[in-house]
Amino acid sequence: MENWNKYARLLLQYCLSVKEGDTILVSTTFLAEPLARELYREACVLGAQMEFSFAFEGMGPLYMHHAKDSLLDRTSPFQDLAIKTFDAYLVIRAPYNLKEDNGFDPGRQKRKLAAGAELNSIYFERTGSGAMRRSLCQFPTLAAAQEADMSLEQYTHFVSHACKLNAPDPIAAWTALGASQQHLVDYLNRCSSITYRNAKSDISFSIKDRIWINSDGKANMPSGEVYTGPIEDSVNGHIHFDVPSIYQGKEIRGITLEVKDGNVISWDAEQGRDLLDRIFEIDGARRFGEVAVGTNYDITRSTKNILFDEKIGGTIHMAIGQSYKQTGGQNQSAIHWDMIANMAEGEILADGNRIYDKGVFII
């Protein structure tokens, strides 16, 4: 990608709506320096104060393997200040190694998650209320490209295309997508119940008085989805998530969940079941914080990266764990994990009416 400035302007002007006087935290790795440099340039032009939190290669493993217990029970004072007081927060994924989090001691991971639970709750409260604007994006790295079975050049093109950076005016392109999705959320906000159904799934839930969000690139880049939080105790049925993903450095495939009265009562996976066993021990993880439909038809394949895969046109996803406050969701948890299912041969019913068939909305 030659024009990192185009990406930087999209992130600051469109995704985060940065204005003069704002304070912004950017969290990434040193691999993303070309984009970080252009972000800093644009922030200076806008009159915004930008601070960086850079990670070096192997930083996570060093911490998890060597940190004293007393350190695991603390949060970063700088991160604490930023989450509680900054106006905007940008996370740029730029991995050195997508497997480096694999093999950590589960007890130490759980302890670290518990230590961050209060700050995590504040983060969701501030982003949900709009007090802090946030965005998540991707910088192309060799590790991410290899995980996607692409060359770095191919993956860089993939990221650019998914983010509409190849458009003459990316901001105008995302504005148009948001307008095209608005009628979907307007319709869904008048509905009370939803059913996702395909050959391996049949799951229903209430969304009465919950708020559907038009995700048009303001919170994630790329975006392209509509989502809400289900009534927590209303989810019933079974669902199979066939799109593979990596979570906590571990690849997992073919997840099947059985749900009763909002609680995940049984689970299995074709690969990585032991990860599910650990995750479902976390408070709030057996309830759903989000239900959604992917609408970005510029993303046509899985890359084992949830940021992109959950937006694939023709898919649905459901997230276990933390709810987004702006939807009216009430579930609280230290995690939020999106699980994705292909709906190319599926359907979605709203109040008993088919509104989605074979990967596309028909309303």
| CA 133 – CA 138 distance, rounded (Å) | 17
pLDDT digits (tens, 9 = 90+) for 252-298: 999 999 999 999 999 999 999 999 999 999 999 999 999 999 999 99
Two tokens, residue 261: 């009265």
Q: Is the pLDDT of residue 82 over 90?
A: yes
52 with 140, same domain: the answer is yes
55 with 79, same domain: the answer is yes
189 with 258, same domain: the answer is yes
Residue range of the domain that includes 85: 4-162
pLDDT digits (tens, 9 = 90+) for 111-139: 898 899 899 889 989 998 889 999 999 99
Residue type, position 332, single letter: Q
Q: How far is CA 312 from the centre of its chain?
A: 13
278 with 174, same domain: the answer is yes
Q: DSSP class of residue 104?
A: -
Residue 235: helix, strand or coil by DSSP?
coil
Mean predicted lDDT score pLDDT of the chain? 94
Number of H helices, E strands in the chain: 12, 18
- Strands across the sheet containing 49-55: 49-55, 23-29, 88-93, 133-138
Q: What is the CATH number of the domain that holds 155?
A: 3.40.1830.10
198 with 142, same domain: the answer is no
| CA 303 – CA 327 distance, rounded (Å) | 28
Name the residue with tokens 């990192």: 4
DSSP states of 136-179: EEE---HHHHHHTT--HHHHHHHHHHHTTTTSSSHHHHHHHHHH
Residue 1: pLDDT band with limits 50, 70, 90 = low
> Looking at residue 107, what is its pLDDT?
86
| CA 317 – CA 338 distance, rounded (Å) | 6
| CA 59 – CA 36 distance, rounded (Å) | 19
pLDDT digits (tens, 9 = 90+) for 174-218: 999 999 999 999 999 999 999 999 999 999 999 999 999 999 998
114 with 237, same domain: the answer is no
Q: Is the pLDDT of residue 104 over 90?
A: no
Neighbours of 84 (CB within 10 A): 13
156 with 180, same domain: the answer is no
pLDDT digits (tens, 9 = 90+) for 290-315: 999 999 999 989 998 999 999 999 99
> Looking at residue 210, what is its pLDDT?
97
Sign, Cα dihedral of 46, 50, 54, 60? negative
23 with 97, same domain: the answer is yes
> Looking at residue 59, what is its pLDDT?
93
Question: How distant, in Å, are the alpha carbons of 193, 237, 252, 298, 320 from that of 280?
Answer: 26, 18, 14, 33, 9
134 with 175, same domain: the answer is no
What's the mean pLDDT in 163-183?
94
Q: What is the total count of domains within the chain?
A: 2
What's the mean pLDDT in 48-63?
95
